[in-house]
Amino acid sequence: MIEFRGVHKRYDTGIEALKGVDIKIDAGEFVFIVGASGAGKSTFLKLITREEVANSGEVIVSNFKLSKLKKRQIPYLRRSMGIVFQDFRLIDTMTVYDNVAFAMRVVGASQKDIRKRIPYVLGLVGLQNKSKAYPMELSGGEQQRVGLARALVNNPSMIVADEPTGNIDPDMSYEIMELLTEINRRGTTVIIVTHERDLVKAFQRRVIEIRDGLVVSDTKDEEVASYEI
């Protein structure tokens, strides 16, 4: 489902963020991406979402060869993924319901489908009673659950999250991670960049460690890579 073949990414500043990454992530996997600050983790995710493009090598996502992807095809690629941000990126002037509904409206869903789907996804993330609330009236953990609902609402085949628990307290972080595990159990591929060693240890999933632009370990072992934070 996701494959990197000899991927190099150099930014215009000359910095080489990825220096030849080869990795394969199958449909249905749950993967943590770890590594020190500046290692290249966000760059790795941005190449998957096509926010950035590789300088050489090939990135393949959901059968799209990204080096050959035309601009007008990008929306189709993005529809296969739900993206979760560290800073939530909710629209403050919209209710919880409308924040999530907005993601369906932009892809042209019918009012009928929206009315049916939103209560379901808000139920999944445990926010059925908050649909009329505004983001400012919610805790950080609740805001991120709205972010998750929004990512899920169009039924993506994968969820991509860059430090989704970076702005919330540890208990809430654990909850968010459990939700992501549940989403994965239902068949969605989940890729999470995190700095939180405790969460990585607690969840015991595949861990890909990036160091200085290279994948230096890839393990499903209980002995999670001894990465430095």
Ligand X SMILES: Nc1ncnc2c1ncn2[C@@H]1O[C@H](COP(=O)(O)OP(=O)(O)OP(=O)(O)O)[C@@H](O)[C@H]1O
Cβ-count burial of 170 within 10 angstroms (0-12 exposed, 13-18 middle, 19+ buried)?
Answer: exposed
- Partner from ligand X, Mg ion, none contacting 37, C-beta within 5 to 8 A by type: ligand X
Cβ-based nearer residue to Mg ion, 35 or 135: 35
Q: How far is the CB of 174 from ligand X (least distance, A)?
A: 20
Query: What character string, x for contact with Mg ion (CB under 5 A) and - otherwise, covers 61-80?
Result: --------------------
Least distance in Å: CB of 193 to Mg ion?
6
Residue 17, binding choice from Mg ion, ligand X, none, Cβ under 5 to 8 Å by partner class:
ligand X
CB distance 97 to 58 below 8 Å: no
Give phi and psi for 120, each to the nearest 5: -65, -50
Give the amino acid at 192. I
Task: Report DSSP state, residue 163.
Answer: S
Residue numbers at the binding site for ligand X (CB under 6 A): 11, 13, 15, 17, 35, 37-43
Can you read off the two tokens belonging to residue 82?
């739900």
- Give residues 4-63 in contact with Mg ion (rule: CB under 5 A): 42
Q: How far is the CB of 78 from ligand X (least distance, A)?
A: 19
**Closer CB to Mg ion, 42 or 154, in the complex:** 42
Distance CA 19, CA 162 (A): 20
| Distance of alpha carbon 165 from alpha carbon 105, whole angstroms | 27
The footprint of Mg ion (CB under 5 A) covers 42
